Amino acid sequence: MHRRTLIKYIAALSTGISGKTTFGQQNSLDTRYTAWDALLKNHVRWLPDGVQSRVDYTGFAADRAALQQVLVQWSAVTPAQFQALPKPEQMAFLINAYNGFTVELILTKYPNLTSIKDLGSFIQSPWKKKFFKLLGEDRHLDWIEHEQLRPVFAEPRVHAAVNCASIGCPALRDEAFTASKLDAQLEDGMKRFMADRTHNRVANGQLEVSSIFKWFKEDFEKGHLGLNKLEDVFARYATQLSDSPAEQAKLKARSLRVTHLDYDWALNGVRR
């Protein structure tokens, strides 16, 4: 290949091809999240039930330099660059950032902790700690979830996408979120979560569900996907919540009493 042609080819690869969004001569964002995706594939394990996952934090600790390089790249994205992205890419960016910075937060004390709550105190929760920079300012995890994802995008399935490093959370996926697969990933996350009998189940003649549906009830009742009440959500996922046709019929008829299970804040780490 002619040298000048080769130079142009290499330049093209770095300015938008292979899933990169470029911002002039500034930082480029890999919207396929290749490095983050590789870390997740290496260090997240699905359990045999296919609905729960566990995180190999020891493996992440060994690859911490690679993780921090990813986080530095995300921190370099400016507010103007972020606003220039299409909405699905903005949402994928924020979900990945939440999950990536959560892993980094755990690694600040791992293995000397049993729960993410060990990283908080009486005066400040771990989700209020400003330990990273994003979109030009020092941020905490609650800023991503409660000031951006929930109010801006109004997508309740995000609760099955962001992971709080706890067994009680919906599973951390073994892949990065991307705009092209976002809807499918959100729906798959909800289906896996609803099929997780440790979190959501029909038992004792009633529906026992995660406390997520108590804490964020309003998010699920805003008409997204035609869902106006929590019972509509459970009817939509009736086949995940129960294998019994009779129980599924009751879920679709919205006739089961709903109770909430205690949340398990134990670390979602791989057992060794």
Place of tokens 């289906």: 191
pLDDT at res. 12: 34
Q: Which two tokens stand for residue 264?
A: 């398990």
pLDDT at res. 243: 97
Q: What is the pTM of this model?
A: 0.91
Which residue type does 154 have?
Answer: A
pLDDT at res. 20: 60
pLDDT at res. 1: 38
Would you state the torsion angle of the CA atoms of residues 140, 146, 150, 153, taken in this order, to the nearest 10 degrees?
A: -50
pLDDT at res. 16: 33
pLDDT at res. 27: 61
pLDDT at res. 107: 98
Q: In sequence order, what DSSP letters do the residues of 210-258 get, joined into one string? A: -THHHHTGGGGGS-GGG--SHHHHHHHTHHHH-S-HHHHHHHHTT-S-E
Can you give the pLDDT of all 272 residues of the chain as single tens digits?
A: 333 433 333 333 333 334 565 443 346 899 999 999 999 999 999 999 999 999 999 999 999 999 999 999 999 999 999 999 999 999 999 999 999 999 999 999 999 999 999 999 888 999 999 999 999 999 999 999 999 999 999 999 999 999 999 999 999 999 999 999 999 999 999 999 999 999 999 999 999 999 999 999 999 999 888 889 999 999 999 999 999 999 999 999 999 999 999 999 999 999 76
pLDDT at res. 226: 85
Are 270 and 57 in contact by the 8 Å Cβ rule? The answer is yes
pLDDT at res. 23: 40
